[in-house]
Chains A and B, each alone.
Chain A
């Protein structure tokens, strides 16, 4: 059995610095947007007293959810004993950490008082799922770093299986808790369902894997490392299954919502009457984000073409952002039903008397803040793969370890050895 050899990402310096330069510029813009927001207050954004979470939260939740999905690749190898995924474990761990950091950064910088971060870390309300998430997120980063160590260090190898199982359980809890941030909101019709928790888990698998595949393809392509067709096919098929699963969950989510008469209006609005939100739902989430990539993954003409696979992954990501936009913002825009059976004629606070569609207009600083978080995640990844041995030297199909029935813990031949890199 061959050892897996890992190597730093050595693309030509000019190109590498070019990539970093672009990412740093986007980060700088995001940073400026954050400063601007902090200085002026949130009036410069489209967020208001009705839509309190906007575009930054769409990006933040997307990144956080994707982070817990990215670690899944490592779990498949460690927990489920799929040898072919073994060499991917390190990149999977790295992405999980960087995506999470990017997402958290957005969340923190969007706070009304980001200067009080320490207050958030020292005052806990244990009834708050939000406070729990602070533990889940910090714990996740710590756990994944330990997991990475166990993958990369001989000493750590014997903990690898335990850590892998732990990380797997933790990421399930983390995504469940992230979904619950919304699922626990009894006040809002569109949230208020425990169903959002498993739905977020499924979404995380799809979005995390889509990002993972794109990063893998890009880094390998840039350096002309070998990425075996078989492996890519497996990854792609897995993503296809996840994307289809998200579609199924989406269907069930709206069906269960539509089952109660009190929600007819809501579902009708979201699906058909919601203007931009309905368009985003059908065109962005369902068509571009789900059906088109599924077709690309499985159509005989496109399924072997790497360009199509890459495009399909990108579409899944865009569709994910659209989905979260609809879930997060659409659900806030839809007026609260404080007076069922009554029509609001007039209100000093626009309770549902406005065309709901027009209560939120995303602003440039919000968008820049969100993109800044994405850039941070990618920047950390780019630096990580350059200075440390995260990427396997080759992923040629012939060199991949075979699947094991037993999880791979303790099999020396699979120890990913830094020294051989």
Chain B
């Protein structure tokens, strides 16, 4: 969250508003406790599972810390597919349309968007990261499936 806030310099005037939003979020957490599955989208893998990689309330408050910590390990040490990898989050939480297409996880009413809009915290993960699983951890060429382009792999 700190990082997301950082990405809005020049909005110091809005700091008061953000603080207000934080209090609101805190209060809302209480309400959310009885509402665990609310933001998990039907049609995502997560909807079929009993829980996240950590307990749900913990994830709610700390997912950004886990992801941030993991990102440094992945980028600098090359550890992939770990428990807290963002790719894993997306894989599990992305929902699909009736014809099986993945829906961008940060789009309206989807998993990331719903809470973040509510908490008024900007997510900038998806400036760089794919918002749907695309291409897998290894290329088709690397996994011996021939060198085809991955342009729009969602389609046929």
Binds B, one of A112-120, A308-316, A388-396: A112-120
Cα distance, A116 to B7, chains bound together (Å):
6
B44 to chain A, nearest CB (A): 29
Main secondary structure of the interface of A (DSSP, over half): helix
The answer to whether B100 has its CB under 8 Å from any CB of chain A is no
Question: What 1/0 flags go to B113-126 for Cβ under 8 Å of A?
Answer: 00000000000100
* B6 contacts chain A at the CB level, 8 A cutoff: yes
Quick check: is B9 within 8 A (CB to CB) of the other chain? Answer: yes
In the bound complex, residues from chain B placing their C-beta under 8 Å from that of A119 are: 6
Residues from chain B with a CB closer than 8 A to the CB of A114 are 9
Give the dominant DSSP class at B's interface. loop
Contacts of A118 on B, CB cut-off 8 Å?
6, 9
Residues of chain A from 365 to 411 with CB closer than 8 A to chain B in the complex = none
Which single residue of chain B is at the shortest CB-CB distance from A108?
Answer: B9
Contacts of B6 in A (CB 8 A): 115-116, 118-119
**Considering the chains assembled together, what is the distance between the CA atoms of A119 and B124 in angstroms?**
14
The digit string for A96-118, where 1 denotes a CB below 8 A from any CB of B, is 00000000000000000011111
> Closest Cβ of chain B: how far from A151's Cβ, in Å?
30
A114 to chain B, nearest CB (A): 8
- Cα(A117)–Cα(B6), bound, Å: 8
Per the bound structure, the CA–CA distance linking A311 and B127 in Å amounts to 48
Check B8 for interface membership: any CB of A closer than 8 A: yes
How many Å lie between the Cα of A31 and that of B102 in the bound state? 38
Closest chain-B Cβ to A38's Cβ sits at a distance in Å of: 11
Contact with A along B1-17 (1 / 0, CB 8 A): 00000111100000000
Q: Distance (Å) between the CB of A376 and the closest chain B CB? A: 14
Q: How many whole Å from B13's CB to the nearest CB in chain A?
A: 16
B residues less than 8 Å from A115 (CB atoms): 6-9, 124
CB neighbours of B9 from chain A (8 A): 114-115, 117-118
Interface string of B68-111 (1 = CB under 8 A from A): 00000000000000000000000000000000000000000000
* A110 CB, nearest partner CB in chain B, Å: 15
- Name the residue among A115, A116, A117, A119 with the largest chain B CB count within 10 angstroms: A115
Chain B hits for A117, CB < 8 A: 9
Residue-wise, chain A 134-158 has the 8 Å CB interface mask toward B (1 for contact) of 0000000000000000000000000
Closest B residue, CB atoms, query A117: B9
Which residues on A sit within 8 Å (CB–CB) of B124? 115
CA of A118 to CA of B7, assembled, Å: 8
Shortest distance in angstroms between B32's beta carbon and chain A's nearest beta carbon? 29
Shortest C-beta distance, A416 to chain B (Å), equals 34
Q: Which residue of A lies closest to B6 (CB)?
A: A118
Interface residues of B in 1-44 (CB under 8 A from A): 6-9
Residue in chain A with minimal CB distance to B8? A115
In whole angstroms, what is the CA distance A115 to B8 when docked? Answer: 6
**Minimal beta-carbon separation of A116 from chain B (angstroms):** 7
Minimum CB distance partner of B11 in chain A: A115
Q: How far is the CA of A310 from the CA of B7 in the complex (A)?
A: 44
When C-beta atoms are compared, the residue in chain A nearest to B7 turns out to be A115
State how many angstroms separate the Cβ of A13 from the closest Cβ of chain B. 28
**A30 → chain B, closest Cβ, in Å?**
14
Chain B residue nearest to A122 in the complex (CB): B6
In the docked arrangement, what's the CA distance between A116 and B8, Å? 8
Instruction: List the B residue with the shortest CB-CB distance to A115.
Output: B7
**A13-B9 Cα distance, complex, nearest whole Å:** 34
Tell me, in angstroms, the Cα distance from A119 to B6 when the chains sit together.
8
CB distance from B119 to the nearest CB of A (A): 18
A118–B8 Cα distance when bound, in Å, is 10
Cα A114 to Cα B7 in complex, Å, equals 8
Closest 7 CB pairs of A and B: A115-B7, A118-B6, A117-B9, A118-B9, A115-B9, A115-B8, A116-B7
Given contacts A116-B7, A117-B9, could you give 10 more A-B pairs where the C-beta distance is less than 8 Å? Answer: A114-B9, A115-B6, A115-B7, A115-B8, A115-B9, A115-B124, A116-B6, A118-B6, A118-B9, A119-B6
**CB-defined A-B contacts under 8 Å, sample of 9:** A114-B9, A115-B6, A115-B7, A115-B9, A115-B124, A116-B6, A116-B7, A117-B9, A118-B6
